[in-house]
Amino acid sequence: FRALLNENGIVAAAENSQIVPVIVGESERAVKIADALQTAGFDVRAIRPPTVPANTARLRVSLNCGLTEEILREFVETLTKTIRET
């Protein structure tokens, strides 16, 4: 999943966790992206200050074993498009 994100220009830390943070910067932008992803059917949350440092607002993407490769690819495609438009 992280490799797929990186292939699409989305930086994801190479950690070994089912929670993948995608840093987007501004709080307002994180909320807009999360809202768009939720509208598209993906349950992604915006994490903002004071939980994280200023200007490091991020999306909290949680993976589970029920996600197929097709769903992950669709998510990355939707995320990539949304980030570019926001």
pTM: 0.92
For the chain, give the mean pLDDT: 95
Q: What distances in angstroms separate CA 16 from CA 12, 23, 37, 81, 84, one per listed residue?
A: 11, 17, 24, 26, 27
Q: Per-residue pLDDT tens for 11-21?
A: 887 788 999 99
Give pLDDT, residue 13: 75
Given a cut of 80, whether residue 77 has pLDDT beyond it is yes
| 61 CB neighbour count, 10 Å cutoff | 22
Give the whole-number percent of the chain exceeding pLDDT 90: 93
Sequence-distant (≥ 6) Cβ neighbours of residue 24 within 8 angstroms: 30, 33, 57, 58, 59, 83
Q: Per-residue pLDDT tens for 45-73?
A: 999 999 999 999 999 999 999 999 999 99
